[in-house]
Structure formats: C-alpha cells, structure tokens
Structure 1
Amino acid sequence: MRRLALSFMLAALAAGPAAAEQDLLLGADMSSPAMTRAEMSRADVEALIKGADGKPVDLHDKSLSGLDLSGLNLRGANLRTARLNKANLRGSDLSGANLEQAWFIKADLSGAKLAGAKMFGITARNADLSGADLSRSMPIGDFKGANMAGATLVDLKGGADIRNQSMGLMRAVFVSVNLSGANLKGADLGRSRLEYANLTDADLTDVVLMGSDLSGANLTGATVNGADFKNVDVSGARLIDLKGQQEAKDWAERVNADRAVTQASD
C-alpha cells in the first residue's frame, strides 16, 4: 500500500498543477494504522539515538505518527518514507536529515532545525513549521496549508529541475502556505506553486521566482529587490507597498500583471 501511495504521489507531482492538486494523496489510506499509529515509543527512539553513539539514526519507513519527539537530536537521521503525521517535533534538530517521501501531515515542526534536509517527495500538508530553519533544504514536495510564519528559508532549493525531463515538473507546492515574515533570501522557487500564499512582510531578496504561480498570493510589504519575476503569474496577487520593487528583475515580464492588486482598497 505504501509503495503504491508513493508512486501515485510522485506521478501526481510530476504531472502538473491540476493533477497534483487532485491526486497527490490518491491511493493512500490516511485512516490506516500505518498512517495514524506509531510502532515505536519515544523511549524506543531515544534508545536508538543513544545507541547510535553520535551517528545518524536510521528510522526509515517507520510509523511514528502521533509521537512526541520534541527536542530530540535527529541530525542526519534517515527518515525516508517514514510516517510522522501529527507527530510533535517542536524544536527538534533534523538538520541534514533524509526526509524524502516522508509524511508530516499536521505535524508540529515549529522551531525545528531542518537546514540542509532532503525533502524530495515529502508530504507536509497543514504542518506547523513556524519559526523553523529550512535553510539550504530541498523541499520538492507538498506543503499545502502549512504554517511557515517567521521561518528561515535562506538559499532553499525548491525550484523545479528542468534538466531531467522525466522529473522536470517536480516542484515545491506552497499553496495557501503562511510565509508571513519569513526570510527567503536567495531561495530558488522557480516554477513553484504559491497560489494564495501569505507572503506579507516576507524577505524575497534575490529569490528566483521565474515561472512560478503567485496567483492570489499576498505580498503586501514584502521585500523584492533582486527577485526574479520573469513569467510569474500574479493574477489576483496583492503587490502592495513592496520594498525594492525598482530593483526586482524582469518586473515587466510578469504574467497577468494587469490582474494584480497594486493599491490597497479603502
């Protein structure tokens, strides 16, 4: 079941916006024990960490949903294909961890350290990543509805890899994500999905947005100097009180610029 669900997930992400939106979780039984229960306790995980003697712990493909793993040192841990839905990872250190194809639906990752983490194919819908550090991470997955308010996403690598045609449309999905006040300096979000994202007061300095979808997003008060807006869909986007707009790249190359909101309503 898990392999089938993962294959559907990756196929949907590669198929394009419509398919990804409709079929991302197709084939996954979200009510099954594999998705909702834990096969280990916090004590078991702590014992593994202690036994690893400073080396990265291996928790790949484990069912850890609902566990309280807050504050644990999971640096470099192998959590590939693991299920951590509704798990509490508040303040945990997951720097450099392998989170590829893992499940974090409604998980609490607030204040967690995720710098350099691998997230290809991750599903983290409605997860709480507020104040988390995702610098230099590779979140090519689904974060729809997540809370990333105040998060650090410096040099994040979320852009689609068009060099590989079979995976050329794999992208970061930040639909309806709260990125208010987030630091995205130097992030690559090329061809990403950011529809209805909240980017108020976010720092988008030197961010690559080329080809991304910002329709309906709120960028009020955001800093955009050096950000690349070539072929960015801004239909219905709120582009109000932007800082550094004159220094933004390819500002005239925005798509549906006439449909953007550029003045606050009375």
Structure 2
Amino acid sequence: MRRLAFSFMIAALAAGPAAAEQDLLLGADMASPAMTKAEMSRADIEAMIRASDGKPLDLHDKALSGLDLSGLNLRGANLRTARLNGTNLRGADLSGANLEQAWFLKADLSGAKLADARMFGITARDANLSGADLSRSTPIGDFKGANMSGAMLVDLKGGADIRNQSMGLMRAVFTSVNLSGANLKGADLGRSRLEYADLKDADLTDVVLMGSDLSGANLTGATVAGADFKNVDVSGAKLIDLKGEASAKGWAQRVNADRAVTRVSP
C-alpha cells in the first residue's frame, strides 16, 4: 500500500500544472491502522534512546501516528517511510534525520530541529512547523497547507534538480503554506510550487525562485534582495511594499507581471 501511494505521489509531483492538482494521497488508505495507529509507545522509544549509546535510532517504516514524542532526541534517526500522522513532535530534535517518504499529516513539529534532514518524498500536509529549523534540509515533497510561520529555512534545498530526471520533476510543494515571517535566506526553491503561499514579511534574500509558481501568493513586506525571479509566475501575487526589489534578479522576466498586485487598493 505504501509503495503504491508513493508511486502516485511521484507521478503527481512530476506532472505538469494541471495534473499537479491531483490528490497526492491518491492510492493511500488513510483510514488504515498503518496510517492512524502506533505500534510503539513513547516509553518504548525512550527506552531505545537510553540503550542506543548515542547512536541514531532505526525507526524506519514504523507506525508512530498519534504519539506524544515532544522534546525527544531523535537526531539522525532513520524514519524513512514511517507514519507519524498527527504525532506531537513539538521541540523534538530531528537534525540530520532521514525522513524520506515519511508521513507527517497534521503532525505538530512546532519548534522542532530539522536542520540537514532528508525529506525526499515526504508528505506533511497541514503539519505545524511554526518556528521550526529546517535549515539546509531537502523538503522535496508535499507540504500543502502547512504552517511554517517564523521558521528557519536558511539554505533550504527544495528546488527541482533538472540534472536528475530519473524520478521526474520532483520539487517542494508549498501550496497554501503559511511562511509569514520565515527566514529563507539562500534557499533554493527553483521550479517549486508556492501558489497562494503566505510570504508576508518573509526574508527571501538571495532565494532562487527561478521557474517557480507564485500565483496568488502574498509577498507583502517581504525582503527580495538578490532573489531570482526569472520565469516566476506572479499572476495575482501581492508584491506590495517589497524590500530590496531594486537588486532582485530577473525582475523584468517575471511571468504575468501585469497581473500581479503591486499596491493596496484605495
């Protein structure tokens, strides 16, 4: 079931704009115990941590949905294909963890440490990542509707790698994500999906946005100095009170620039 679900997600993420609106959860039985239940308890994981002698835990493919794992040290843990839907990971340390193909639907990762985490194929729709540190992570997956307000996304690598097309055009899906006040300095979001994202007062200094979709996004008050806007679709986007606009790259090469909102209506 999980392999089937992931194959559908790959196909949807790799498809064009119309097909990309497909439900990325197609093929997954979200009501199954594998997606909604936990096969371990917090006490079990705490015992594993004590016995690990500082080595990263191996929790790959485990069902951990709904658990309270807040504040735990899961640094470098292998959580590949694990299910953590609705799991409380508030303040947990997942730095350098392998989260590839893992499920975090509606999980609470507020204030969590996710720096350098591997997230290829992750599904984290409607997750709470407010104030989390995702610096240098690779969120190549589905974060639609997530809350990343105030998050640290410095040097994040969420852009499509056009040099490697063996898996299709995989990229970050940040559709309708709350990124207000987030720090994205130096992030790579090339060819990513940011439709209707809230980027109000976000720091986009030197961010690579080339070829991404910002249609309907709110960039009011955002800092865009050095950001690359070449071939970025800004149809309906709010580009109001931007900071550093004069030094933004590819500004004249935005797509649908005439349809962007550049001032507040009287």
Give the TM-score taking structure 2 as reference length: 0.98
Change (3 A) 1:109 1:259: same
Aligned-pair CA distance for 1:21: 2.5
Deviations 1:133-160 (A, max 9, x none): 0000000000000000000000000000
Given that 1:161 and 1:167 are in contact with CA atoms closer than 8 Å, whether structure 2 keeps it comes out as no
Partner of 1:202: 202
Distance 2:143 2:247 in 1: 29
Tell me what 2:108 maps to: 108
Q: Is the 8 A contact 2:209 2:229 kept in 1?
A: yes
Q: Specify the alignment match of 1:186 in structure 2.
A: 186
Q: How does 1:206-217 map to 2 (within 5 A)?
A: 206-217=206-217
Q: Does structure 2 conserve the Cα–Cα contact (< 8 Å) formed by 1:160 and 1:168? A: no
Cα deviation digits, residues 195-248 of structure 1 (max 9, x gap): 000000000000000000000000000000000000000000000000000010
Q: Give the structure 1 partner of residue 97 of structure 2.
A: 97
How far, CA to CA, are the matches of 1:251 and 1:28 in structure 2?
41
- Structure 2 CA distance, aligned partners of 1:53 and 1:8? 39
In 2, Cα distance between the equivalents of 1:189 and 1:205? Answer: 12
Distance 2:168 2:27 in 1: 23
Q: Could you tell me which residue of structure 2 aligns to residue 150 of structure 1?
A: 150
Gap runs ≥5 in structure 1: none
**Residues 174 and 197 of structure 1 are in contact (CA less than 8 Å); yes or no, is this contact kept in structure 2?**
yes
Structure 2 residue aligned with 1:2: 2
Residue 48 (str. 1) matches residue 48 (str. 2): yes
Q: CA deviation at 1:17?
A: 3.4
1:265 paired residue number: 265
AA at the equivalent of 2:161:
D
> C-alpha distance in 2, partners of 1:53/1:94?
17
Q: Which amino acid aligns with 1:44?
A: D
Contact 2:10 2:167 in 1 (8 A): no
* Preserved CA contact (<8 Å) 2:151 2:182: yes
For normalisation by structure 1, the TM-score amounts to 0.98
Deviation at 1:9, TM superposition (A): 1.5
Matched, 1:58 2:68: no
* 1:129 corresponds to: 129
- Aligned-residue Cα RMSD (Å) equals 0.8
Letter in 1 for 2:194: L
C-alpha distance in 2, partners of 1:192/1:6?
19
For 2:187, what is the secondary structure of its paired residue?
Answer: coil
SS of structure 2 residue aligned to 1:17: coil
Measure the CA separation in 2 of the matches of 1:136 and 1:154. 6
**Is the Cα contact below 8 Å between 1:211 and 1:232 reproduced in 2?**
yes
CA contact (8 A) 2:10 2:168 kept: no
- Tell me the CA shift for residue 168 of structure 1: 4.2
Which 10-residue stretch deviates more, 92-101 or 166-175? 166-175
Gaps of 5+ in 2: none
Q: CA deviation at 1:179?
A: 0.2
- 1:50-89 alignment, distance < 5 Å: 50-89=50-89
SS at match of 1:78: coil
